[in-house]
Amino acid sequence: MAFQSAIHQLKVPEVVQLLRVPESTIKRWIRLGEIPCALKNGEYVFRRDTLLAWARSKHLYIEENREAVRSGEADLIRALRLGGVHTGLSSESREAFFESVGRRLHQELGLPEDLARHLDERERLSTTGIGRGVAVPHPRFPGSLQLSESLVATCYPEEPVDFGAPDGEAVFVAFVLLSADAAHHLRFLSQVAHLIRDDNLAPLLKLPPSKEQLLDHFQSVLAKKTG
């Protein structure tokens, strides 16, 4: 399954024109990791649709908002189906777990070989453990892996791993969130945070469930939320 695709990329001068902010501000946002971008051939590039979604989430005024491409609602269930359920991953440390996740997803889904590095770089900023033994690891910059479709891989270490989560619980399951753009990223984070508050989910997750069991339960909880 190929997730790479050709996309419309912008460079810093074009982003300055699009967002109408000084170049120094763009560079500061890059340095602080606040704006989605990727380093390619020694310079930062920005995926246009991801950048527009990010700007809207920050309530930045953009003249081209009227012409911005309307993306459909992020589909968490489809992303979970694409990502699959992966068990028996290394649990000696958080770093070992990420290495194991990276190898597995590279072998089974054809994802970039340096996925573990992306996950570890983000984790060093602050924990992605969100409580109840659940973590949502993801790259520092949504869209930086240049995926044509978002996916969420449900990953189980052999034993719980310390992520330094706020509630002190070691992580027994990680939803590895690999978004094609910032809009999907923000929506998926919100949806997963909502899902883990469901008291019926914990027993199911600890089985661990099959992919179909997981999808059926998530679909039911999301339907109640929007119903």
Residue 193 has pLDDT above 50, yes or no: yes
Q: How confident is the model at residue 94, as a pLDDT?
A: 97
Residue 3 lies in a domain: no
pLDDT tens digits along 55-95: 877 767 565 443 333 333 348 888 999 999 999 999 999 99
- Tell me the CATH number at 115: 3.40.930.10
For the chain, the domain total comes to 2
What pLDDT shows up at residue 66?
A: 38
The domain boundary, picked from 67, 92, 115, lies at: 67
- Determine, yes or no, domain membership for 159: yes
State the alpha helices, DSSP H only, in 8-90: 12-19, 23-32, 48-57, 76-83
- Has residue 1 been placed in a domain? no
32 inside domain: yes
Do 17 and 40 sit in the same domain of this protein?
yes
Does some domain include residue 4?
A: no
Global pTM value: 0.68
Active site residues: 138
**Mean of the pLDDT values across residues 16-41?**
89
Dihedral sign for Cα 85, 90, 94, 100, please: negative
Examine the domain organization and report whether 114 and 83 are in the same domain.
yes
Q: 164's torsion region: left (phi>0), alpha (psi -120 to 50) or beta? A: left
> Does one domain contain both 62 and 93?
no
Q: Does 85 lie in the same domain as 58?
A: no
**Is residue 38 located within the same domain as residue 144?**
no
pLDDT per position as a tens digit, 108-151? 999 999 999 999 999 999 999 999 999 999 999 888 898 888 99
Alpha carbon distance 213, 145 (integer Å) = 28
The parent domain of residue 203 ranges over: 76-226
Q: Do residues 63 and 80 both lie within one domain?
A: no
pLDDT of residue 62: 64
Of 67, 95, 111, at which residue does a domain stop? 67
Looking at residue 157, what is its pLDDT?
Answer: 97
